[in-house]
Amino acid sequence: MTAAAPAVALDAGSRYLRVVRADGDGPPRLVDLPGTVPGEGLPTPDRVRGDRAAALAAAYAAYRAHCGPPGRLVAVVPHGEHLPPTRETGEPRAQLLGAPHAVLALLRHAGTPPLSPVLVCDLGGAGVSLARCVLTGGTWAVCGPARYAPVPGGYGAAFDRAVLDGAGLPPDDPEVLRLLALARAGTTRRTDVALDRMVARPDRAERLADTVVHEVAGHEITAGAVFRAFARLTEGLDGVLAAAGPERTPVVAVGGAARSATLVRHLAERLGLPVPLPGGTDPALAAVFGAALVAAGRVDAADRYPHAVAVRVHRTVGGLPRDEELVISPPGTLAPGEATVFAETGGERVRLGAAPAEGGTGREVQLLVRGAGARNGVPAAAVTVSAGAGDRFHVGVRLTTDGTAHLVLHPLVPEMPVPHRRGAGPGAQEIPLGVLPADPAP
């Protein structure tokens, strides 16, 4: 019997490409590919740095060349980021999963009691982001996120450059960066203790400045060099917190810079104690571990759209015209990359007709989004469709793998068969709607 191909998750950071497998019932693990830095992943090649689609393709190519094609593929992306449709990772096609959903999937799989709202603070190499997540009907609605991503330089990457520059080392040498990662892995506690003391008593910081915390390529890295670079982390984080204006809310800290206990304590002073990651999970790997569990089918992504989607229609009842809201997609129905959801009643698709248009054949259609408990929807988009008087069609909505919505109109004409109930047939008209609102407040 041939073993099933494994489920794989990819995360393309500015510093490392991470490829993770979740086999059987065991915990997710980094795939040991040629050139992998232990605990980190493959160094991101210069040629793809800054191009997430190309970086994901490079990670996939490295895995496939060493292990063969995976059975299922999930790629982590920042929430709301859209990859160019022409850039593919290969086959199977990757399901895109926003980083906040991936982190929350990891927590849910571990049995962490759900907290709502909860903030996911991603402290990565390129930037820091803060996403507010609200559990609605079993799915997560993600608002934001507020983001600080200085270019050039990055966020966590800028901290590393400052540390290396302070030690007289080249800040962009891949081998030096690899050695820095290895040195940190063995001296995390020593560095945090020294940094905590210097942050708590900056007036006495000079007494510890010459303390050697680790050694890289024959150069000593001192507590003073780390302390001077630390301001790059706190200033960026404080800027995001000020822009988001969050109250004290449960927060999950992830990303490479979240390995710094001192930085996490700085975050805790502003928002409260962070939610612990399961089993001491490396915060740099939290998102890709959660994505691997989703790829393996061991936890649901919970990324379905949590609100109802409706369209405004006009009817004549008793000889009098009136406006109504026709629900196309009930709450928690739309899922990225899955089939179009059509408006139905009694198990049959609703047939809509186009009224006579004034000054042409274009018809304006208003899409509405209705939050839980709301009696009426709020406008989400208004689009013009090519429908003439007397045209009849089924109306549906689908979400692409990058989370953007499309209005789908399937015309009803004698020579065109009715499509399968779970999809749109040939000839359907699709109109991009953009990203549906995460918080449809009245």
Report if residue 230 sits inside a domain. Answer: yes
- CATH number (domain holding residue 324): 2.60.34
Using 50, 70 and 90 to split pLDDT, how confident is the model at 319?
low
Residues 167 and 265 in one domain: yes
- Across the chain, what does the average pLDDT equal? 84
Report if residue 441 sits inside a domain. Answer: no
**pLDDT for res 105:** 96
Residues 284 and 357 in one domain: no
Q: Helix, strand or coil for residue 188?
A: helix
Q: Helix, strand or coil for residue 120?
A: strand
Quick: pLDDT tens for 145-190. 788 888 777 899 899 999 999 889 988 888 888 888 888 888 888 8
Quick: pLDDT tens for 206-218. 888 899 988 988 8
CA atoms of 64 and 59, how far apart (whole Å): 9
Q: How far, rounded to the nearest angstrom, does the alpha carbon of residue 52 sit from its chain's CA centroid?
A: 13
**pLDDT for res 362:** 64
Residues 327 and 197 in one domain: no
**pLDDT for res 34:** 94
Residue 155 near residue 236 (C-beta atoms within 8 A): yes
CA atoms of 376 and 379, how far apart (whole Å): 10
**332-358: average pLDDT:** 80
**396-408: average pLDDT:** 83
Residue 71 near residue 256 (C-beta atoms within 8 A): no
CA atoms of 381 and 397, how far apart (whole Å): 13
Residues 370 and 240 in one domain: no
Say if residue 86's pLDDT is above 50. no
**330-349: average pLDDT:** 86
Q: What is the residue range of 219's domain?
A: 113-274
Residues 127 and 258 in one domain: yes
Residues 202 and 119 in one domain: yes
* pTM assigned to the model: 0.83
Report if residue 439 sits inside a domain. Answer: no
Residues 204 and 290 in one domain: no
**pLDDT for res 376:** 80
Residue 286 near residue 122 (C-beta atoms within 8 A): no
Report if residue 440 sits inside a domain. Answer: no
- Which percentage of the chain shows pLDDT scores above 90? 34
Residues 174 and 108 in one domain: no
Quick: pLDDT tens for 37-60. 888 999 999 899 888 889 999 999
Using 50, 70 and 90 to split pLDDT, how confident is the model at 111?
very high
Radius of gyration of the chain (CA): 25
Number of domains the chain is built from: 3
Quick: pLDDT tens for 121-143. 999 998 999 999 988 878 888 88
Residues 126 and 98 in one domain: no
- CATH number (domain holding residue 235): 3.30.420.40
